Structure 1
């Protein structure tokens, strides 16, 4: 098929006028200097214009103007009748209208401002060419004839440009089984051959092992190719002699191109071994998308080439071969008495004469079927009338009866694309992604068994998913959402990377069939390039962040994550979701404190409120639960029922539920809760009996201090009125607690706070135990005293808040410092010292 890059020798090659290398189709591009008016205008006359400090006209500029330019800075090229610019990863970047397009591609429009680095800015002028077209020699074909003497290496006839040399392309990958190492000396973007002013040029694309022209390794500049030049890619294996065939053309000619003619002495079987490159690569593909590695690919360095690049071996020139169809057409021209003069170029024979010859031969062979309903001719007539939907229907019906007819299949595919792609594009560009999917679903239904069409529709469906992801969330610079976008990016790129060359050729084919798709295709490639950049930077950073969180939590060092999160928020400004990680970290530290203090009620309340919002903390909490560090889910559910009964004053039901709690690592904690609740209920009964007695107030305050503000709410309500009446006494009790806390704190500080030497002791010394007890008692009294003030709504001096905060900060510092020694000390010693320091406050 004409859309495929490599054709058998039997296939004729017809040129697409849109791939003409010169800009005489009417496009005129001028770069008008803005930053330095003394510079001359730059008029671009070729489809590819190189920007770099060694390229004309920049090479002639003063050094201070081109100091910011990279050697391979950017490329301006024309594709599908439009102009584009691609930054090639330049050091100082390229901007279009102030937007940084470093490692991106952007379509250019008249009036755009382009800046290379910091010094050179230009106003872009795009219009129609006013000068008259001129007669010029054009390249009809370029033949690469093997020179290395390697058996089985086939000639390559190139009739469409640009042509990408790539280890991933079938032109070279076909040799992988026989010569895997040699193929791996090629790069995935090794070099490309393109036309400049109608002449062929070769440019190395930064390949690992280099491109050699007549034995000399190419640098960053493109070099012209001449007849009989020797060209080598990556070493001494893929070495070719250049053969060039030209044709005299006018600017308005429609060209029919064939491969390089065979010599009469060479038999036809040799033509079957020639690779005909009949479909041009795309500059968008060459400069915008890096082909992904294929299975078995490995960029190898040729040590011999790296040490001393030598001139490739020379041999006898092997001219290209024409296909059988070319021979058949020549015979048909003879039969019609209209053969070109001997030695005249074949491209000079007009397409109309070829068509007439074909028609005459087919009609002479009884080709009246061309006029029958469902014939190829009828389908073409319907398409010429613009009735693509009818053409698609007729082609599908005809293909159903002649499934092996490749011409019918190609026509059916073309009609189907022209019928549905415009509607799909309209829905896609208006953000109606579901409607776009529905259009493709309808097209797939109509395609039936036509796998050729179905394969193109799969490519369009991928483009739809890409655009839905990129544009649906706000464009290329939209924030990247943690734990959501990275997986979608990996999926999209994974689908592309399975065979990027195949995907590029398929989409380029759609663009050739439906011109409206050309600009969206270029935009999709730019979006792809950005996703690849985001994958290399942001997705890689997210993967590292996930690994860091998992490791720090596994090592029980959650406090270290606060700095990690701050660092990520600063380094990766487009990353959103770090705040959710911070919230989960705070929740985790609180949970950890409740777990260490074995405070079952607050722990169950925290976990029952929804747990954690981010996957790393969710996964670690699940692992802790499975390992016994957290209460199992069954106990959490059971204790929720206990708390419900307890808060309703149904103590007996709470006891029964606790006695029925599942057995496991937290059974002893549940048993202590049962004892605590029985004690609270018993003291409450005694308090009711002591009402009016002389020691009632003391009992009341003692009972009040025993209660938990979260769980024991039923009993708090029962003594609420009495407690309010004893506000003065309660305030005095709170002050006593805080005074005691202050005294203990002073003793702790006078003795010297717990230092590193005490924490590093291999055992628990008496000094550590005494200091830990002072700190823990001071903290407990400070917490209870300030809580009593607050719960009774009694105003109190602000100094008590500062005291409580200072003690709490020292307690937390000591706990954190001990946790950081887990890799140094025996785990049992660390656990014992942490127990003496107490758990987190409720």
Structure 2
């Protein structure tokens, strides 16, 4: 069962269920919905509700523009020859009514578009007063006309129908005055209406010719068609509205009773006509109609002449014209042209016939179902005649019917490689058909869309940061470049291969989902990237943790926040190392750095252009550090001396001075050591050991740690002495109120700031030295002082961050001076140094 058949079957399954239609305005939402509950709805600039719209909006609607109607459980729209046309999903509705589905886009003229919504509703119960039949009784008895009893609607008034065609012999001219589609009588709200269908000689109610509007037929009205011959009195027969046991009679009842009593002189219409036939364009409708002198049509529609495609038919028609006019004219023409001329005409006729042979061959192959052969024949012909529209259309049809089912099966089965290969084959087989190649482009887009949705895990799958955005935008951009053109192309494909309609519908569902994702998630990603760039540019990476948490909560389908958090953690360590101003810890962070997301990679590139040391400086520093850690002090110092000037050169110079000082102190300890612990050796050894950096000065730590251990008791005493001093310094710092915001904001360095900074920095330095001794000796005493160490570290970190947050306020030199007085390193800096 096809999708159309299934839909119709479903809609006819329940007799008690009816359907209502809403036209939801898309181009002008302010107009409001149009509710259609009747079987026929008129569209025209003077029809409700269009007549109430602003005149500029309905300027492109014709007076009789289109009709929407139900037929056989399906909804259709028919264009009534409107000037500016009617379209469904961007495809023009032409000679035949077009089926409407839920969510289709209906276009009227060039300005109004509506989204079709079809919904079930409860069938209205048949009530008293319901119309049973309508009787048309001839006004004149002398014309031989029969009464007409209409029991099913709609009823088409047509000279081709037996109801009126029976009078051809008796009144041939009067029948000629009727049109093939003259008028129709239909029900609206349980009342009969008559509408003229653009007839040549008009339809009249009570003597007034109908315009584009349908008019209600009331009991006793006089209804005439095409003049004064076919004129009838209207009689309505309804369900009784009173007690059904009581019988009442009316003139209409009498007419009906008389009609049944004289059944041989009454025409009974028990079967309804089809709206599909009523509203189909009939190109021959006006060819054999006569103007009625008794009636002057006000707006006679233009005659439509059927277009003849066949070149041979055109030629034969002209040939007949050339020899028309009777035997004598024919003889004179033959004598004038002569035998050569006649031979030439015959040759031309044969040429035209053979020129059209490929078209006939392709049509025959299509009719036989030999689509591959039809495709090959069409493409071979188009290689030499690329502009033949008829062959391009036939070749396109053959291509789609031959190859599209294979492509659909591959796509629906997830075989995207096979689908891509099928598309490539189609391009090869229709290489000379520009129209077909354009449709193949639509298949490529749908294939890419379906593959993308499948790879992501479906329409509701997460949006992957920095992976899905560009693909979504590319798919939508391709569609939005010419949405109406794509809709027309896809509808054309579905017209040739109905199985494609399911693929089309699925693609439109995915498209709408991507449009929603673009408006919500892609917009959110853009804002997130802007926030990250702003905070990083302003040296406020710590603010991003809150931002990322907010986005994770607000946008649950946003995947990749964890990757941003990891990059933020690494960047914070890098930023802390830069601020600490030490090359060793900074280079160690750079060695471990593996940023994965574009915003942080872009920020790293900016840092490398200014705030980070050059690659050459890093290389030389690594050489010097390797020699220093291995005890080759002279080589290490020489390498540091060779570091070029520029960014971070001053840091390298300070490192050089530090290492020279370490080397000198170590040399000075050696004589005392050889003297078996000369005067003051122990104190100097512990002081030297406490000044070493565990990472940078690893060789000297190893060279002295054995002796430091040998002085365990003295070392522990030294550590306790330092801790006692730390307690005193920390107490003074806290009693002095710490360092407040007013002191950090000072335009200079006050005595209060300097005194408090000294207390804080000295307590921190002594605490670090004491704790290093404890840890070196593996004593449990370290745990007792951990809380004090943490408190001092926390205060150091707070003061340094607070000062750094004032980088836009304080002059850079002053800021660095204050940071130097506070000293210390925050936790992140210490971690990065390990």
Shorter-chain TM range is 0.5 to 0.7
Per the alignment, in what secondary structure is the counterpart of residue 307 of structure 2?
helix
Aligned ranges 1:319-718 → 2 under 5 Å:
319=301, 322=304, 325=307, 369=354, 375-627=358-610, 629-687=611-669, 690-692=672-674, 693-694=676-677, 697-718=682-703
Q: Distance in 2 between matches of 1:747 and 1:156?
A: 91
Deviations 1:474-513 (A, max 9, x none): 1122122222222222222222221111122222222233
Give the TM-score normalised by the residue count of structure 2. 0.61
2:729 corresponds to 1:744 = yes
Q: Work out which of the residue numbers 795, 798, 803 in structure 2 matches 1:818.
A: 803
Q: Is the 8 A contact 2:690 2:769 kept in 1?
A: yes
Q: Distance in 1 between matches of 2:76 and 2:557?
A: 50
Q: Distance in 2 between matches of 1:714 and 1:226?
A: 109
Cα displacement (A) at 1:318: 8.8
Q: Distance in 2 between matches of 1:552 and 1:420?
A: 55
Q: Distance in 2 between matches of 1:782 and 1:623?
A: 38
Cα displacement (A) at 1:771: 1.8
Aligned ranges 1:200-219 → 2 under 5 Å:
none
Q: Is the 8 A contact 1:549 1:561 kept in 2?
A: yes
Per the alignment, in what secondary structure is the counterpart of residue 440 of structure 2?
helix
Number of positions where the alignment pairs a residue of Structure 1 with one of Structure 2: 600
Q: Is the 8 A contact 1:557 1:819 kept in 2?
A: no
Question: What residue number does 2:740 align with?
Answer: 755
Q: Work out which of the residue numbers 759, 764, 784 in structure 1 matches 2:749.
A: 764
Question: What residue number does 2:335 align with?
Answer: none
Q: Work out which of the residue numbers 82, 86, 95 in structure 2 matches 1:144.
A: 82
Q: Work out which of the residue numbers 772, 796, 803 in structure 1 matches 2:781.
A: 796
Question: What residue number does 2:794 align with?
Answer: 809
Cα displacement (A) at 1:250: 5.4
Q: Distance in 1 between matches of 2:802 and 2:551?
A: 24
- Call closer, same or farther: CA 1:392–1:539 in 2, change over 3 Å: same
Give the TM-score normalised by the residue count of structure 1. 0.61
Cα displacement (A) at 1:802: 1.9
Q: Distance in 1 between matches of 2:34 and 2:627?
A: 74
Q: Is the 8 A contact 1:642 1:658 kept in 2?
A: yes
Deviations 1:498-532 (A, max 9, x none): 11111222222222333332222211111111111
Q: Distance in 2 between matches of 1:786 and 1:656?
A: 33
Q: Is the 8 A contact 1:145 1:317 kept in 2?
A: no
Q: Is the 8 A contact 1:157 1:259 kept in 2?
A: no
- Call closer, same or farther: CA 1:600–1:259 in 2, change over 3 Å: farther
- Call closer, same or farther: CA 1:766–1:419 in 2, change over 3 Å: farther
Q: Is the 8 A contact 1:775 1:811 kept in 2?
A: yes
- Call closer, same or farther: CA 1:574–1:161 in 2, change over 3 Å: same
**How much is the aligned-residue C-alpha RMSD, in angstroms?**
5.0
Per the alignment, in what secondary structure is the counterpart of residue 747 of structure 2?
coil
Q: Is the 8 A contact 1:263 1:319 kept in 2?
A: no
Moved more, 388-397 or 563-572: 388-397
Cα displacement (A) at 1:813: 2.5
Moved more, 766-775 or 529-538: 766-775
Q: Is the 8 A contact 1:382 1:388 kept in 2?
A: yes
Cα displacement (A) at 1:468: 2.2
Cα displacement (A) at 1:734: 4.4
Q: Distance in 2 between matches of 1:226 and 1:821?
A: 85
Larger Cα-atom Rg: 2
Q: Distance in 2 between matches of 1:742 and 1:75?
A: 88
- Call closer, same or farther: CA 1:807–1:27 in 2, change over 3 Å: same
Cα displacement (A) at 1:592: 2.1
Gaps of 5+ in 1: 1-16, 32-40, 53-70, 77-132, 148-154, 174-185, 200-224, 230-240, 266-315, 336-362
Q: Distance in 2 between matches of 1:42 and 1:497?
A: 42
Q: Distance in 2 between matches of 1:138 and 1:549?
A: 53
Q: Distance in 1 between matches of 2:35 and 2:745?
A: 60
Q: Is the 8 A contact 2:22 2:118 kept in 1?
A: no
Per the alignment, in what secondary structure is the counterpart of residue 630 of structure 1?
coil
Q: Distance in 1 between matches of 2:194 and 2:803?
A: 76
Deviations 1:14-71 (A, max 9, x none): xxx9998x9885333779xxxxxxxxx973557x57899xxxxxxxxxxxxxxxxxx9
Deviations 1:785-823 (A, max 9, x none): 445544554333534222222222222323333344445
Q: Distance in 1 between matches of 2:538 and 2:474?
A: 32
Cα displacement (A) at 1:752: 0.7
Question: What residue number does 2:760 align with?
Answer: 775
Larger proportion of helix: 2
Cα displacement (A) at 1:387: 4.2
Deviations 1:636-662 (A, max 9, x none): 344334334444444444334433334
Q: Distance in 2 between matches of 1:318 and 1:821?
A: 85
Q: Is the 8 A contact 2:22 2:33 kept in 1?
A: no
Q: Is the 8 A contact 2:96 2:279 kept in 1?
A: no
- Call closer, same or farther: CA 1:455–1:254 in 2, change over 3 Å: farther
Deviations 1:549-573 (A, max 9, x none): 1111222222222211111111111
Q: Distance in 1 between matches of 2:812 and 2:35?
A: 60
Q: Distance in 1 between matches of 2:638 and 2:747?
A: 44
Moved more, 517-526 or 529-538: 517-526
Cα displacement (A) at 1:697: 4.5
Q: Distance in 2 between matches of 1:558 and 1:631?
A: 21
Gaps of 5+ in 2: 26-31, 38-70, 86-91, 122-152, 155-192, 198-210, 215-270, 290-297, 318-347
Q: Distance in 1 between matches of 2:76 and 2:100?
A: 16
Q: Distance in 2 between matches of 1:598 and 1:136?
A: 78
Q: Distance in 2 between matches of 1:75 and 1:806?
A: 76
Aligned ranges 1:37-116 → 2 under 5 Å:
43-44=17-18
Per the alignment, in what secondary structure is the counterpart of residue 737 of structure 2?
coil
- Call closer, same or farther: CA 1:18–1:228 in 2, change over 3 Å: farther
Per the alignment, in what secondary structure is the counterpart of residue 82 of structure 2?
strand
- Call closer, same or farther: CA 1:136–1:773 in 2, change over 3 Å: closer
Deviations 1:49-99 (A, max 9, x none): 7899xxxxxxxxxxxxxxxxxx979999xxxxxxxxxxxxxxxxxxxxxxx
Q: Distance in 1 between matches of 2:194 and 2:726?
A: 94
Per the alignment, in what secondary structure is the counterpart of residue 515 of structure 1?
coil
Q: Distance in 2 between matches of 1:432 and 1:172?
A: 42
Deviations 1:268-309 (A, max 9, x none): xxxxxxxxxxxxxxxxxxxxxxxxxxxxxxxxxxxxxxxxxx
Q: Distance in 2 between matches of 1:386 and 1:243?
A: 46
Question: What residue number does 1:294 align with?
Answer: none
